[in-house]
Amino acid sequence: MEKRVTITVRGRVQGVGFRAAAKRFADSLALGGVARNLANGDVEIIAEGEESRLQWLVEWAGQGPSAARVDSVQTEFSDSANSFQGFRTQ
């Protein structure tokens, strides 16, 4: 069953390649969605796909790329809106 997850990642997550690494990982899982910087310094990832694959993305976001320092991760699951074609960064 297709689901959607919104992940908000706090810490040193901007300027360290977090969004690009999230895209590579999401692409490897065949997820659709977007990763974007927020004005407050957080990164937001919205992804849709198989629930177990979304869980892998959530686990990955808790660590991120090696240059990042993740302080906290907030997640919210909902039904998929099927609104993404592939995964992109903003």
The residues carrying an active-site annotation are: 19, 37
- Name the β-bridge partners of 12: 69
Give 40's contacts (C-beta < 8 A, 6+ positions apart). none
Which of 54, 8, 7 has its CA nearest to residue 29? 54
Distance CA 42, CA 52 (A): 24
HSE-up (13 A, CA, CB side) for residue 42: 14
